[in-house]
Amino acid sequence: MSGLRGRIERRHLVLVGLAVLVALAGCTGGTGDATETPANTSTPTDGVGDSDSEQRQNASIDNYTAGEGLESELTPPAELSVGVEAVRNDTQTAIAGVDGYRLTGDSTLRTQSNNVGQTQEIKRETRVDRERSRLASNQTVSARGRTIDQATYIVDGTLYQRSAQFVRAYNSEWVKQDISENFSTIFGNSDRLALYERMLENGSVNLEGAQTVNGTDTYRLRVRTNSTAFANVFNLPTDAESDAAMVTTFWVDTESSTIVRAEGAMEVVTTIQGQQTVVSGSFVEQFEYGPVEVTLPEEAGTAYEIGSDGTDA
């Protein structure tokens, strides 16, 4: 039984890796098996994806270089009057005090299994009302010259998603799912700042120095998350077998201690019955803080309802 359990857990980690990357891409997952239900496959491709055989695109976690597009120089930590623990603690405190924020970002999602690869480029804009536990995310997914639009909303304990792919199964672009039983976990994994607060708590944190980003003076933190910390950050079973790693760089406002920019990469590698699956991705995000309004579009009122297990409600 232990061997069977291990295989199941490793398979679960593959799906979790996909779901985590989807979350980092600005979408939101549901509550079931990510391979079986539209509401849990939060970036439906509608045929968009690279199914051709390609070389493995390793996220190069340990060698990932952040901030390459920034023009300002990095002031080394030895010249700063603050230490890593103070910056980390102040950042966590600032995150806890945020009521609402917006983020814009770009992500790359990659999967490689059995000599077949898929790559997606995603652009998104997300609004999070933490006071009312509401979220809205709009994104475009591009691959092989095609682009599709998607949307995800969390409003009043219900997950709403829009994609043209849903029309095939439900005759509707909109589907909805009651997530009240798992709301804290789902919203907590969808709220980017909540994820980052847990990363700072569970990961290995280094202060790389200070840098100016778009006119804002910031401290630059690098957080390395191994398999155990990865499970803690994303609310996974701590006994699940995996080879997971993530590195995230934060640029933190020196005055407000809020995160103004985040950039990183992650990779989950599993082997099931001799077949290796690699799930990897990278992302860049910009943050703005202040009140946000999340209102469900009128068209979502006709969303097809599915059950918590992905079947018809």
Query: In whole numbers, what is the pLDDT of the chain averaged over residues?
Result: 81
Q: Which of 55-64, 160-169, 221-230, 242-251 has the lowest mean pLDDT?
A: 55-64
The whole-angstrom separation of Cα 219 and Cα 261 is 11
What's the pLDDT tens digit per position in 220-237? 999 998 877 877 787 776
Contact 47, 142 (CB under 8 A): no
The crossing angle, in degrees rounded to 10, of helices 84-96 and 192-202 is 150
Contact 48, 120 (CB under 8 A): yes
For residue 56, pLDDT beyond 80: no
**The amino acid at 105:** G
- pLDDT category at 41 given cuts 50, 70, 90 is very low
Query: Which residues touch 148 (CB under 8 Å, ≥6 apart)?
Result: 45, 46, 48, 140, 141, 163, 164, 165
- pLDDT category at 312 given cuts 50, 70, 90 is low
Report the sign of the C-alpha dihedral through residues 44, 48, 49, 51, in that order: positive
Alpha helices (H) along 62-125: 84-96
The whole-angstrom separation of Cα 20 and Cα 39 is 15
- pLDDT category at 275 given cuts 50, 70, 90 is confident
First to last CA, the chain: 33
Token digits of residue 111: 């999967």
The whole-angstrom separation of Cα 274 and Cα 142 is 31
pLDDT given at position 307: 78
Mean pLDDT across 236-254: 80
The whole-angstrom separation of Cα 120 and Cα 251 is 26
**The amino acid at 307:** G
Nearest to 248 by CA among 232, 277, 226: 226
Contact 267, 62 (CB under 8 A): no
What's the predicted TM-score (pTM) here?
Answer: 0.82
For residue 199, pLDDT beyond 60: yes
- pLDDT category at 143 given cuts 50, 70, 90 is confident
pLDDT given at position 13: 42
Q: Do the bridges between strand 304-306 and strand 174-178 make them parallel or antiparallel, or are there none, so unpaired?
A: parallel
**Cα atoms in the 13 Å half-sphere on the side-chain side of 9:** 15
How far does Cα 101 stand from its chain's mean position?
16
pLDDT given at position 287: 98
Contact 262, 249 (CB under 8 A): yes
Mean pLDDT across 109-132: 90
**Buried/exposed code over 25-37 (b: 16+ C-beta within 10 A; e: otherwise):** bbbbbbbbebeeb
Give the alpha-carbon dihedral of 14, 16, 18, 23, to 10 degrees. Answer: -170
Mean pLDDT across 112-121: 85
Query: Which residues touch 273 (CB under 8 Å, ≥6 apart)?
Result: 7
